[in-house]
Amino acid sequence: RRGWDFVSTGRGDVPWEECFRALNHIGYDGPISIEWEDAGMDRLHGAPEALAYIRSLNAITPPDAAFDAAFSSES
C-alpha cells in the first residue's frame, strides 16, 4: 500500500487542460506521449478512454488573433 496510485488519464488530479493550454500558448506543435498505467482498470477500456480524453484536449487550439481584435472597428 502506498499513498498514491496511478490512475487513467483524465481521472486523477493532473490538470491536463491547463497543460495543453500552456503548450498551445508557447506554440508547441510536437508529439504528445502519455503513459497509461492504471492497475484498477482494464487496459482495453482505460487506454482507449484516456486516448480519447487527450485527443479532445489536444483539439483545443488558440485563436488566430487576440480576443479583443474580434471587436476592433478596423479591418
φ and ψ of 4, to 5 deg: -150, 160
Question: Does residue 24 or residue 58 have the better pLDDT?
Answer: 24
Contacts of 53 (CB under 8 A, 6+ apart): 9, 10, 16
pLDDT of residue 13: 87
Whether the per-residue pLDDT at 74 is higher than 70: the answer is no
Q: In 33-64, which positions are buried (b, 16+ CB within 10 angstroms) versus exposed (e)?
A: eeebebeebeeeebbebbeebbeebeeeeeee
pLDDT of residue 4: 76
pLDDT of residue 18: 92
pLDDT of residue 66: 67
